[in-house]
Structure 1
Amino acid sequence: MKRWIVLAIFVVGLGLPQATQATELQCFEQTGFCTDGRFLEYWRQNGGLEVFGYPLSTIDIVYNQDSQMHFLTQQFERARFEFHPEFAAPYDMLLGRLGDDLLRYRNIDSAMLPREAGATSGCLWFETTGHNVCNQANGLGFMSYWQNHGLNDPKLDAFGRSLQLFGYPLTEPAIETNANGDSVLTQHFERARFEWHPNQPDQFKVLLGLVGKESQKLVYGASADPSKLTLVGDTLFFTADDGVHGRELWTSDGTEVGTRLVKDLSVGTEWGGIYELAAVNQGVIFAVNKQDKDYQLWYSDGIEAGTRLIKSFVPNAKINNLKSLGNGIIFWANDAVHGIEPWYSNGTEAGTYLLSDINPGLADSAVSNNYGSYWVDYAPIAGGMAFFAQNNQIGNQIWWTDGSIANTRQISNLAISFGMLELEVLDQQHLIATAYQNTTMGVWNITLATGEQQLLASYPAIATTRNPASAIQLTQAGGKVYYLSKTQAGELSLWQTNGQADQTIQPNLQGYNAEHIVAANDQLYMRLTNPQGIQAGWWYFDSSQGLTQLTPLPLHIHAANNRLLGWESIAGGLRFYSTNGPNQALRYRSSVMGKQTYFPDTTNDRFFAIPSFQYGTELWSNDGSTLRMVKDIQP
């Protein structure tokens, strides 16, 4: 409290803070900083010390994260001034949204807070944000303070001037602890924080929080960047960097104490070389490569003693595309004898073997895109796994395996010039595959038992070198496979097939166009645009009922464990939505505020790697109603 009494002496007794004054420069020995020119003029005209406080920095060019541009900026105790000469005064000086910034740092998404029921008698009601601003005593309080201070713009009325200076209220009043450690009634605004100090003289009962000073002291966390999130039962395996051991294998049961390093494969801060994981036998099999070392296959049950090497492949021999199959995994590897071929491992050295040398000798059977990578797609069917392969003498093929050498067999064979792209299960006896030849893209029905091939539809291939796919996003739902056809101009249309050519048709989308499709609970969901190309949100579809809107929001949606997960990217954060069951509404759960450049990995519906301002990118968990950080792995 003593600090505010001293401030009062300066304001009332001197009229101006203790300073060395000059025509264009005013310096403050209280903080050791000066302000001048338009910054000083704006400070004096719009509230001075009471509203803005002392300067805390020099005037300098600073990067603005929201606009992603640089501006002349100066930080004050209760504000951040940003100079915009492209605008006419007084809007050539804009105030940072420090009130909102401090809320976001605490992962409070003010736009999603509950709205008040409506206007309260004797208060100011703000319909835009759904909050009232009221007085706390007769004629004194937040409302009176808001009304009696404002931007110096004679073109605005009193309400407009106050709104330009402080912005909208973002919260209801609540008791909070301020920067001085005092518990005070507090209400947050876009550019300020109001605090009620009932024991102070009337003119100081409402004080503005030191949002500028506090924002300067914010510590932005380092990132452990959890990745390769692989859920095995209730246990998560993943890689992370704690800043001490480098990027290594970790495990978590969803609690802070149960989130721990499994094994430091490379002692010290060097990267352990783990780059791919797959679930198997109450643990994971993972691929490791350290620069200029062998490619290795490892197994871990989540404890250091149970983490062991399975098999080493010679340098540059490659291991990739690990996929769970039965009691082990299928993967592709080059042992420098057979080329890149399909292998199987049950987590032991004896149980790790080549399934078939499909393209004999050193040649690869992995289908190449001619740019150093491969079209690898799996389809679990009939207790095994279907996959693409190629033989230089015969052509591109579809194979099936249950993980044994004896039951690894070719299903079908297309012409040697065909390129394979996607596989999807229609039912346990039929696969839908896309393949292209020259300028044509075909959609095929493949019978698993006989290898019979039926062309269902064809489309002009896209005239690009890397990806000619004009039939994409094969998705099974309700006994049908859906996909999008794509034109050279990028236009998309939805198709469906039950495996018969005459019933491979375009569903009636009532004039909408589909952009993306996913399936959950045997139901198809799609993101649509209207005929004018405007986003129309997500909908679900079936042949009998047609289209029903799920949400108007243009979310990034994934299906995981028969639920839908939705992510909305906003300025400086993410909003998380999910469903509780089939065709139920997507409900807002919670927000995490941080510098967001990508959507979280959603291979499961419980754990995510999410960036926040305070902690960096760390491991978060979803309990069905909200998100919470599991552990700050790299503090």
Structure 2
Amino acid sequence: MYGIIMMIVTLTLPLWGQAETGVPFLVKDIRMGIEPSAPASLTPVKGLLFFRADDGQHGLELWQSDGTAAGTRLVADIRPGPEHAVPDALTEVNGTLYFSADDGIHGTELWQSDGTAAGTLLVADLNPGPESSFPSELANIDGVLYFQAHDGQHGTELWRSDGTAAGTQRLTALNPFRRNDHLDDFELWSGRLMSQSTHLVLDIYPGSGSAWPHAFVQRNGTLYFIADDGQHGLELWQSQGTTESTKLAVDVNPGRGHAFIKGLTVVGQTLFFSAFDSETNVELWRSDGTPSGTRRVVDLNPGLGHAYPDELTEMHGVLYFRALHPDYGFELWRTDGSVSGTRLVTDLRAGSKSSHPSELVWAEGQLFFRADDGTHGFELWQSDGTAAGTRLFADILPGPRHSMLSELTYASNMLFFRVDDGKHGIELWAISLRAAQPRHAMTPPR
């Protein structure tokens, strides 16, 4: 009788902190009870997950997890006590984590961590004293950290750092790839990444107008971005770092009107993006960087409707995205760049109502995302790109209520995310994806 009772208890225990393949589990109830620890900024570094969370005692601080309860711990109480350090903009460079945080003494400045309390250090107090430099837009470019910061004297400018105070330097008066010097306003600039040499590539919007170059992606050694030259609206531009090579790639929406380009994504040799033109409104486009090689992929929402393609994500050389179709609502689509190769993956919420797939992430050969099929609320789904291979992976908060699942992040064969199961508040969960097979959440192993 005792053995039977023990077996029943074992089968009904929640799988907390256990990497049972394919089964979602609560990694750790960081803030015990219904109050959430609200993990955020999930960032993988050398097989570990770093994030910020609030355990109710230390405020929002830096945490680390290897996917087990025992291996999920506070890295450092940067601002001792219940006050919040609010680590933000977490970015990995050469195996070191960089981020902004406020220790209550130096203001919000640049920090680094190797995952230990002793190795969690202020890199530099760029705006000396309690004032903040507010480091932001942290980026790993060829193994060097670049970021924006305000040192209290020069405005918000571009900086680089090797992780030491002496090696943290302001380059010149410019924002990353953009500059506002009150003469050329926001324009495209170039800099040698290992020096302080910078120069204006091209005054795209001559005079006092601002080109606002942004959304940079690289394809075959060419930089593509969105900018406005004052004649064509916000359109697709390209540059190889010289004045001669910096030019309008294509005027998607001819004339002064904006194309409202979004989601620049490279798949193989093709650049995909969402764009507006007066003929078909907002649809999916593709480009090889030339006007003749730039075209609309397909008009998914014909007439006056918009498809609003977004969440553009590459998997196995195929582009996956969310789009609005009059018959299906917002659902998951895929394309190889051709009309015949563009198709609905599956209509998760049958009819014109939308499942709103989002947070698409590739992991272990599968596409994971959040969606609402009208029965389970927003929960975790999995797809191999076919209708038959698209299924609910886990209904963590059973029934039609939403589990608030978000921040899907893949690290070392684990899919991490934040979710509310209705019992523990928003906490850190994970799934081991080693040869994972879809299973219903919290189903005990047999």
- Quick check: 1:268 aligned with 2:129? yes
* SS of match in other structure, 2:340: helix
The code of the aligned residue for 1:400 comes to: Q
Q: CA deviation digits over 1:479-525, x for unaligned, max 9?
A: 22122123799941222211112322212346664522513256422
Alignment map for 1:148-297 (pairs within 5 Å)? 221-280=82-141, 282-289=143-150, 293-297=154-158
Give the TM-score normalised by structure 1.
0.49
Shift of 1:281: 5.2
Query: Among 340, 352, 361, which residue is 1:502 paired with?
Result: 340
* SS of match in other structure, 2:297: strand
Cα distance in 2, alignment partners of residues 230 and 536 from structure 1: 27
Structure 1 residues 480 and 344: alpha-carbon distance in aligned structure 2, compared to 1, 3 A threshold: same
- Quick check: 1:346 aligned with 2:192? yes
Query: Among 473, 490, 502, which residue is 2:311 paired with?
Result: 473
Aligned length: 358
Partner in structure 1 of residue 63 of structure 2 = none
Structure 1 residues 336 and 451: alpha-carbon distance in aligned structure 2, compared to 1, 3 A threshold: farther
Cα distance in 1, alignment partners of residues 237 and 439 from structure 2: 39
CA contact (8 A) 2:250 2:290 kept: no
CA contact (8 A) 2:420 2:426 kept: yes
Query: Among 415, 418, 440, which residue is 1:567 paired with?
Result: 418
Note the aligned Cα RMSD (angstroms). Answer: 4.0
Cα distance in 1, alignment partners of residues 104 and 378 from structure 2: 42
Partner in structure 1 of residue 36 of structure 2 = none
Shift of 1:362: 1.8
Cα distance in 2, alignment partners of residues 479 and 238 from structure 1: 32
Give the TM-score normalised by structure 2.
0.68
- Quick check: 1:361 aligned with 2:211? no
Partner in structure 2 of residue 79 of structure 1 = none
The code of the aligned residue for 1:119 comes to: I
Shift of 1:532: 4.6
Partner in structure 1 of residue 284 of structure 2 = 443
Alignment map for 1:316-335 (pairs within 5 Å)? 319=175, 322=176, 331-335=177-181
Q: CA deviation digits over 1:270-297, x for unaligned, max 9?
A: 1124233222354312212256853322
Cα distance in 2, alignment partners of residues 377 and 354 from structure 1: 18
Cα distance in 2, alignment partners of residues 338 and 535 from structure 1: 46
Structure 1 residues 559 and 404: alpha-carbon distance in aligned structure 2, compared to 1, 3 A threshold: farther
Partner in structure 1 of residue 58 of structure 2 = none
CA contact (8 A) 1:396 1:420 kept: yes
* SS of match in other structure, 2:5: coil
Q: CA deviation digits over 1:287-313, x for unaligned, max 9?
A: 122568533222211111212221135
Shift of 1:539: 1.4
Shift of 1:437: 3.5
* SS of match in other structure, 2:166: helix
Cα distance in 2, alignment partners of residues 272 and 396 from structure 1: 31
Partner in structure 1 of residue 173 of structure 2 = 312
- Quick check: 1:423 aligned with 2:263? yes
Structure 1 residues 244 and 426: alpha-carbon distance in aligned structure 2, compared to 1, 3 A threshold: closer
* SS of match in other structure, 1:119: helix
Shift of 1:364: 1.9
Cα distance in 2, alignment partners of residues 346 and 585 from structure 1: 48
Deviates more, 1:353-362 or 1:538-547: 538-547
Partner in structure 2 of residue 518 of structure 1 = 360
- Quick check: 1:576 aligned with 2:416? no
Q: Unaligned regions of 5+ residues in structure 1, if any?
A: 1-115, 131-169, 171-218, 314-318, 323-330, 368-375, 589-635
Shift of 1:470: 2.0
Partner in structure 2 of residue 71 of structure 1 = none
Cα distance in 2, alignment partners of residues 247 and 379 from structure 1: 29
Shift of 1:572: 4.0
Q: CA deviation digits over 1:115-167, x for unaligned, max 9?
A: x986259xx9799768xxxxxxxxxxxxxxxxxxxxxxxxxxxxxxxxxxxxx
Cα distance in 2, alignment partners of residues 239 and 431 from structure 1: 32
Cα distance in 2, alignment partners of residues 580 and 392 from structure 1: 49
Deviates more, 1:259-268 or 1:482-491: 482-491
Structure 1 residues 220 and 388: alpha-carbon distance in aligned structure 2, compared to 1, 3 A threshold: same
Cα distance in 1, alignment partners of residues 131 and 271 from structure 2: 44
Query: Among 322, 346, 349, which residue is 1:484 paired with?
Result: 322
* SS of match in other structure, 2:260: strand
Structure 1 residues 559 and 236: alpha-carbon distance in aligned structure 2, compared to 1, 3 A threshold: same
The code of the aligned residue for 2:83 comes to: A
* SS of match in other structure, 1:380: strand
Structure 1 residues 478 and 332: alpha-carbon distance in aligned structure 2, compared to 1, 3 A threshold: same
Partner in structure 2 of residue 119 of structure 1 = 5
Partner in structure 1 of residue 62 of structure 2 = none
Query: Which protein, 1 or 2, shows the higher relative CO under an 8 Å CA cutoff with sep ≥ 6?
Result: 2
CA contact (8 A) 2:187 2:200 kept: yes
The code of the aligned residue for 2:285 comes to: W
Q: Unaligned regions of 5+ residues in structure 2, if any?
A: 15-32, 34-79, 397-402, 442-446
* SS of match in other structure, 1:503: coil
Partner in structure 1 of residue 52 of structure 2 = none
Cα distance in 2, alignment partners of residues 509 and 560 from structure 1: 26
CA contact (8 A) 2:381 2:390 kept: no
The code of the aligned residue for 1:482 comes to: Y
Q: Percent identity?
A: 24
* SS of match in other structure, 1:269: coil
* SS of match in other structure, 2:346: coil
CA contact (8 A) 1:514 1:526 kept: no
Query: Among 424, 428, 432, which residue is 2:272 paired with?
Result: 432
Partner in structure 2 of residue 56 of structure 1 = none
Alignment map for 1:382-401 (pairs within 5 Å)? 382-401=220-239
Cα distance in 2, alignment partners of residues 507 and 489 from structure 1: 14
Cα distance in 1, alignment partners of residues 235 and 294 from structure 2: 11
Comparing both structures, which one devotes a greater share of its residues to helix?
1
Cα distance in 1, alignment partners of residues 408 and 437 from structure 2: 15
CA contact (8 A) 2:417 2:430 kept: yes
Cα distance in 2, alignment partners of residues 408 and 561 from structure 1: 37
Cα distance in 1, alignment partners of residues 99 and 281 from structure 2: 41
Shift of 1:234: 0.7
CA contact (8 A) 2:335 2:342 kept: yes
CA contact (8 A) 2:370 2:406 kept: no
CA contact (8 A) 1:285 1:347 kept: no
CA contact (8 A) 1:540 1:583 kept: no
Query: Among 219, 223, 226, which residue is 1:381 paired with?
Result: 219
The code of the aligned residue for 1:546 comes to: G
CA contact (8 A) 2:380 2:392 kept: yes
The structure having more radius of gyration, on CA atoms, is 1
Cα distance in 1, alignment partners of residues 439 and 197 from structure 2: 44
